[in-house]
Amino acid sequence: MLETLDDVPLFRAEDLSYEDFCVFMTENRPCRISGITEQWRATKEWVLNAQVNTRRLRELFGDSVAPIADCQRSEYGSQPKTEMTINNYLDYWEEHRRPAVDEHRWANTAQEKCLYLKDWHMQRNFPEFAAYSVPRYFSSDWLNEFWLASDGQDDYRFVYIGPKGSWTPLHCDVFGSFSWSANICGEKLWIFLPPGEEVYFKDINGKLAPDITHITDRDRYPKLHEQKPVLRVLQRAGETIFVPSGWHHQVVNTEDTISINHNWFNGYNLFHVAEHLQNAENEVKKELSFMESDEAFGSQVEIVLRAHHGMNRHDFREILDFIARRRLECPEDQNARFDLLKCCEFLEDSVLKDEIKVLLSDSMPNGVHR
């Protein structure tokens, strides 16, 4: 049986300042915050008597199409997805028999079929529907700030709707980003692995186990005996969980659940994002080494990197340049100076970099504080 520790602190929003939360971003540690979601429109309209309000969801979004994952199947370590209208998914939802959830063996929960609506860009598709407001702790979000100011065709803001027993395999979030996940209703059970400890759950081919709650084959997983206790946390309705960069995690819905989730990064985890990009680029270059002498090698690396990683060097430069130029518009703002300081570490535009250095040299003698 997997050895676990219950060690993810819970704070009331009224008792947690932004400065207090910055400690968790700086130290890259998870935490939970309650008291954020009570006044959200999503909480008031998507929930009825502590349960998913399917009637209201149909009225609001019934004809909208969303991605649906099959929790009982696995393809290349991920759950295959299809698309359904919200109406069709809720038809399934209302007919589906909920199983008893075995907290020690998630992937083998007995059930006929388990479909999970996940990664739905609800806010992008319905921008006029103000379902929630971004909590102040997560407001410095360079990733979504960039995309929303661009063509608006992409973002990293999602809604998840899953019946009891639906789950997400072990993974690390895209780009090495932070994420936050707010439970509108229901409960989730999370398992967290600090960065580097995922190695204990890789098989002899280096493939990560999708479900680490019940692994017994020590020949297939040679480092299993070295594993340390993992973090386990039950996230209840109304709680928001902060997921740090590089922490592998898997999640099961222990009750019918709706959650709102963002992937994001800022100056506090920019190093992790840059490192994640570098590692992904190294892997692509290794795969394409047969054409290294080709003059198109660099451009091909960029194409493959974007396809497999979701972001390439050009994209990363664009985001940093955008954030830096925006922050230069408010040079007296202390938070803007912090962002500029962090951007400067990775900017390639020498003119822009020099402009920032001149500005920062006029700041307080002890540097920028946040």
Domain boundary among 264, 294, 318: 264
Model's pTM, two decimal places? 0.92
Q: Is residue 366 very low, low, confident or very high in pLDDT (cuts 50, 70, 90)?
A: very low
Mean pLDDT of 28-39: 97
Q: How many residues does the chain have?
A: 370
Q: What is the CATH number of the domain that holds 187?
A: 2.60.120.650
Q: Is residue 73 very low, low, confident or very high in pLDDT (cuts 50, 70, 90)?
A: confident
Domain count, the chain: 2
Provide the 10 A C-beta neighbour count for residue 292. 11
Q: Could you tell me if 106 and 203 lie in one domain?
A: yes
Give the pLDDT score at 31.
Answer: 97
Q: Summarize pLDDT for 223-255 with one digit per residue, the tens.
A: 998 999 999 999 999 999 999 999 999 999 999
Domain boundary among 231, 246, 264: 264
Nearest to 154 by CA among 168, 144, 139, 167: 144
The edge-to-edge listing of strands for the beta sheet with 157-162 is 10-12, 31-34, 239-243, 178-185, 257-264, 157-162, 115-120, 65-70, 81-85
How far apart (Å, rounded) are the C-alpha atoms in residues 96 and 305?
A: 39
How far apart (Å, rounded) are the C-alpha atoms in residues 242 and 30?
A: 5
Q: Could you tell me if 314 and 188 lie in one domain?
A: no
The verdict on residue 317 lying in a domain is yes
Nearest to 155 by CA among 117, 118, 120: 120
Phi, psi of 238 (to 5 degrees): 85, -5
Q: Could you tell me if 134 and 167 lie in one domain?
A: yes
Q: Summarize pLDDT for 264-287 with one digit per residue, the tens.
A: 999 999 999 999 999 999 999 999
Provide the 10 A C-beta neighbour count for residue 277. 21
Q: Is residue 369 very low, low, confident or very high in pLDDT (cuts 50, 70, 90)?
A: very low
Q: Could you tell me if 191 and 338 lie in one domain?
A: no
Q: Is 368 a residue whose pLDDT tops 60?
A: no
Q: Summarize pLDDT for 286-334 with one digit per residue, the tens.
A: 999 999 899 899 999 999 999 999 999 999 999 999 999 999 999 889 9
The verdict on residue 367 lying in a domain is no
3-state secondary structure 222-289: CCHHHCCCEEEEEECCCEEEEECCCCEEEEEECCCEEEEEEEECCCCCHHHHHHHHHHHHHHHHHHCH
Q: Is residue 107 very low, low, confident or very high in pLDDT (cuts 50, 70, 90)?
A: low
Q: Could you tell me if 120 and 163 lie in one domain?
A: yes
Q: Summarize pLDDT for 340-356 with one digit per residue, the tens.
A: 999 999 999 888 988 99
How far apart (Å, rounded) are the C-alpha atoms in residues 234 and 104?
A: 14
Q: Summarize pLDDT for 110-132 with one digit per residue, the tens.
A: 456 899 999 999 999 999 999 99
The verdict on residue 368 lying in a domain is no
**CA dist 287 → 16, 136, 151, 292, 322 (Å):** 46, 41, 32, 10, 31
Mean pLDDT of 192-212: 95
The verdict on residue 228 lying in a domain is yes
Least confident among 1-10, 75-84, 147-156, 247-256: 1-10
Q: DSSP 3-state assignment of 83?
A: strand
Mean pLDDT of 214-224: 91
Q: Could you tell me if 210 and 298 lie in one domain?
A: no
Domain boundary among 264, 298, 326: 264
Whole-number percent of the chain with pLDDT over 70: 93
Q: Could you tell me if 206 and 311 lie in one domain?
A: no
Mean pLDDT taken over the chain:
92
The verdict on residue 241 lying in a domain is yes
The verdict on residue 118 lying in a domain is yes
Q: Could you tell me if 235 and 136 lie in one domain?
A: yes
Residue numbers of the domain that contains 203? 4-264
User: By the 8 A CB rule, do 30 and 21 touch?
Assistant: no
Whole-number percent of the chain with pLDDT over 90: 80
Residue type, 347: L
